Structure 1
Amino acid sequence: MNVAKQMRKRYLLAGLLLNSISLHAQEPVVAGYLGRFDGQFAPVLINQQKQWLHISGAVLVDKTENIGYYNTIVAVKHNAYGAVSNAGKIIAPFKYDEVILADEQDDHDSSKNYCFVITRLNGKYGAADTLGNVICPPLYSEVSALTPHVLKMKKDGRWGWIDIKTGKVLQEPIYEEADKSYVRDNTIQIKKAGKVGLAAEDGAIIVPAEYESFDYLSGSNIYMGFTTNGKAGVMDKSGGIVIPAIYDKCAVGPTEELFAVTKNNKTGFVDKHGKTLLPFQYSAATRTGNVMKVSMGNKYGVVNAEGKEIIPPRYNDIIAINAKGQETYDGGIIMAPGQTITDERSPIPAVFLVSDDTGTSLTDANGKPLTAQVYSRITPFSWQNTPWLAVEQNGKTGLLGMDGKTILPVAYDGFVNGYGSGFSYLDDNAGESKKNYLPVSKGERIGLVDITTGKEIIPTRYEWIQWQNSRILLLRNGDTSSLADISGKIIRGGKRYGFFTAVDTNRIVETQYNDDGTTTTQLTDLAGNTLYSSQRWEFKEDQASRLLVPESEKRSSAKFNDGLLKVWGSARNNVFLDPNGKEVVFDEYSFVGDFWNGLALAGIDSTPQHTLYGIINRKKEIVYPITANDILEMGNLLVVKKGELKGLITKEGKVLLPTEYEDIDDIYDTPFLKVSRDNKYGVTDALGRIILPVEFDDISYRKDEKLFQVTRTGKYGIADASGKMIIPAIYDNMDTNQGYGKNIFPLLVQEGKWYFYIDAQGKAFPYKSLKKKGYED
């Protein structure tokens, strides 16, 4: 009984002691200073010693040595090395003489990624994974990464390997060397008695160590080269010999089923069964897409994917061009029979440019000549994402299709793509049909050809060609202008000191400067009939009131919108013409802007010097009240001003924010608006929904982190993109993590006289200080 009482008393005392330790552990450590985080660590002064606090708040170190791809850290504490994971777990305790990071990050293939640490203690090496599990204790003379799945270890001068994930020894250390193989994925090249072989990661032998070397042939890993007794052969990926080692050199190509083999400095071709397809007759052979460019001396030919010579080696140069008009370079993708390629740069040649002493000609993919004519030069040429071939002869240029057919004769100085020193071509308003029309030049003048027919529709005698819409082109030479239709027919011609603007596909505004100093402006149809004429019409193609017009349309010249064309310079500012030339006057208003989607900006003079604005529709009905002192564009929305206050509406007149704000500004490249009232700020979205109420001293948005930093009554806080306060605005100062990608946490904050750290949940780290680290600390 006494024994039982004594045991209960001991348990009670132990429990009280544990509680005391737990409570004591929750008390923050008072530091000499705390510094802001810069990435993974923040500088702190504890017990007069400068240390570094990990981003987790759980680990202090004296010095950082290395930070890896996955934010695994090698650090020093109490003069010993250790390692910390990105989560703040000590994965290698601080007791080692050395810790080395072994990690890899492949942005294209995550299966090649790995991360672990190598430890050294008393001259022996071991390893641990990022969870802190010991892969192998420090028992080996060397440890290093071998593949993404295994590490290699050395003992007694011999190498073996261990599974990184489980720590299982997959191969005892018995080999002279063990290295990653580059001829076969997830394979280890082993060396024994001076000979090399191949082993799987699990230790199974694929090829015994009987060979001098292995050679990389192609990325598909179907075949690999090998050498023995100084001769080269080919194996399949299981180690079976496909081509015996009787050649000086072996290369795969032009497909995976064919091989270029070299003997006595001559190259021939054999298939995967060793059957000779072409004898040893070539000086060299190089892959060009899915064919081989071969040479005899300094002359070139082509061997196709079937191992047939389709172009004999008698040319000075051969260039392969694919169906996209791109040159297919040496070392292109090797394809097996039946394999299709969807790569942007297809390796399959569509044509060959073959050059000899007489010039350059064209063959198809089988080597058959496509052109009887020989040109001084043939160059791939892309127009509106369509491939063509530009041909040159005697200083002149023509155009061929990819099938070799003549599109344009060799008669031009060149093709125009935008601007030249003496000419300009503008096709922004041409619509989809612009891909069919190519500007051509002769000297300092340009014309236009229809490349679907090869017909020259505009002769090469103009300085300026501009599509005004999909049917009408403006032509200009000096001070003389003309209009042509899409067939090239001149519909308005050679008018000096006069200008034409197509305001629709069948309506033209003509401006003529008369000898008596007057100007006559008229609206005509295609036939030249005058539909409206006025000497007071001050027409300019770029004169418009386009407040409601979308941004994509604003670059176009003035035109009929919603069947109306505004007349500027009239005695009345609200006169429009319909397509028949009939005036449509909005008498109720002092000003009406251009229409779009049936709506226009409208104004009424409240006094001779003051106009109020709103939005009306085509029927003269008010859509948004004519009460605004001004209406300004902000992206696809409108800011309305009434006195000193602002509101927000859509271009259709829908109210998003009432006119009760001192200012409304968009937060650049975000869906948010910053609004203010009585020197306080808030945030809304583009639909006018309140994200943050108008009660903050300042707000800034961190786009990458999708967080708002706010101050309210001098206190700092953080809100997320939905407006939720994730860190309440209660702190006197706040410093974000300034070097950790998109993560601004942990924060260094001040509340009252104390500085401390908080994480993204607002939880405080167990450190505080009366001082923030200064520049001299």
Structure 2
Amino acid sequence: MQMSFRKALLFGFLLILPQLLWSQTYTLFAEKGKVGVRSGQEVSIPARYDNIGWSNQSFQWVGEIVGYQLNGLWGLLNKEGEILSPPIYSGLQALPNQTVIFWENIRAHRTQKYGLMDGEGKILIPNTYAYLHFAAPYYIASQKSGSKMLQGLLDPSGKSILPITYPAIQALSSELLEITQADGLKNLYSTSQKQFVSAFQWESFQPFHDFFIGYKQGWGYVFTAQGNQLNTSGFSDIRLQDGKLQIKTQPQWEIIGLDNTPKQRLAFEEIKIVSQGVFWARTHTAQWLISPSGNTLFGPYEQLVPTSNDWALFKQNGKWGMANFFGNVFLPAEYDSLYADELYIYLFQKTGFDKGWQVLNYKKEPIAHESFDYIERSTEGMIKVERKGKWGFINKSTRTVIPCLYDRVADYQYNQCVVEYHGREGVIDKKGYWILLPEYLTIHPLTPSIYLTKYPSGISSIRDTATVYYETANKISLHGALLLERNSENRFGLNSWLGKPIAPVQFDFISDEINDSLLVVRQGQQWGAIYRNGKWALPLSARYDTIAGYNEGLFRVVIDGSYGFVNKAGQLRIANRYENAQDFSEGMAAIRILGKWGYINAQERLIIQPQFEEVGSFRQGLAEVKRKGKTGIINTKGELLLPTEFDSLEKVDTEYYITQKNGKYGLMSTQGVILQTEKFETMRALPNHLFLIQRNGKWGTLNAQGLSTLPLIYDTLMLDEANQVFIGCIQGNWQSLL
């Protein structure tokens, strides 16, 4: 029978009436320092409580109940204001599933105990746990066992799902928990299937978009948010491209003999040669030391840093330790920073009684009975140390500690060090005794007993501990094996380190030392050359525009704008008839006529006709020349051993040239025999007359005959010379997973 419209309307209103009542607005109000709750304009809960809501200061109903606070403790009320629980709890936490975590402070043990109640105030889990954490639909329960905190999993009724034996349980998604066991390995637990996804074999899990990446021995495996594993072979990289999940397969590392004999395959992302018989290797999450056969010597650790004296610094749980290459731990991983040299170990701790840097020898004995703010390696077996803004030293050989007294310290030189003390510089020895008292503005040691010093008055001098050798008001600077003196008129002179005058302060220019200990000088419009002892090699003369160089007994000079050569007597041995010239080498000098370069001998006989755009000096009977922008090689007869058709040439030993054309490299003998045409992007010479080559981004090798010994298939290729093997890597490929 059909219902009338009026009855239907009434029935519908009766259906929605409870919802209208349920959706009433509840607000807090305060009165006389107390808090209550209003439902619309009516008082639902009188203002007689210190707080209403939950310990995190939020206000929301859990079912029909809410927390209240009196005298620092919490209890439960319903919406009518009836007390369901007296104020006996230290805190209450409302959960999204309409349950409440409660806890009590246990003063005798200075701890807290946690439990769980439902939305009606019924105790579901008694407060016997050190902590409770909601991980829908379960609860992570913690209990202390000795000094450790262990965790397990409970259902809402308090029934044990996983025993409280795990160091850590963490919610990853609404359906997955990460469980860590005592050895640090992890596994995934599916809350929907109530079982572990696999075995405890995972080093870590990391989120990636809507997936999770599990790492095992450094390689990655993809899990869905429900715990389904998508790949069985580990990957080295992952990406989401055009909506597709892609993984990069593992690189293939190989150890190969020089004769292309495969010896070993290794599964790592990166490998480096450390020393004979030791390789450093890493995956995404860990690092190892391994042997050339692939056997693990030490590891895995977060980081491994091999040292030059066959020790390894390793990082574990954020702290550094030290061991030998075979894994025998010398120092446990307890330090925030650590490094070592051949004599000492330097340890740093951020906190604690010994915070700062400490120095130990390899017997684990402290060198100093204090810690330092900063440590810096220095020279001659000394270690710079800084404490509270002052500097000192530790002497490695005698273990002497020079106290941190100095404002600034230099490096040791000649077993002594320049230090700044109260704004003045002095010199100390390796025991900290003064060699020169701190009374100078600057000090520069020249020899173990001679110093270039500057007084506050501005006078520079050279002195040892007792004698003033030389004083001047001019400026002094080092000039090779001599001292360059400059007066206020910018005139230059030379002195020995003992202050013996070499050249008076009268020159406008003094060059650096050139061949046969000569220095070119200019005074006004006159040019000349002197020896290091101050004697004239070429007297001053106004006939020279400049003196450009010297070799094989002849000066290269410019006279009236043209180049020629004179001997030490100033006699013109080769007339000044050339546009440009280079110094003599192996009896010949390059000269330029009408824009072209050729070669003459010391008798000015034209040996090689001017025909080149650029030339080099002869070395071992060969010279590099350029014609039309291309490079070739000629002999002393001017014969082209290699034609001028290359962009560049690199000589290897005495038998080969690495040639370059149009950005590509090839190989040619010094007799001009083409061993490989220019088709490689890179070519490098290796020992044993082998050549490392690269083409299309791939690496291989050639022998001295230009024949391939390793094919061009490797993305990385290294020579381990000590073990006479190559280490090659073929990178993985990107593959779509979904």
Structure label with greater radius of gyration: 2
Highest RCO, 1 vs 2 (Cα 8 Å, sep ≥ 6): 1
TM bucket normalised to smaller:
0.3 to 0.5
By percentage of residues, which structure has more strand? 2
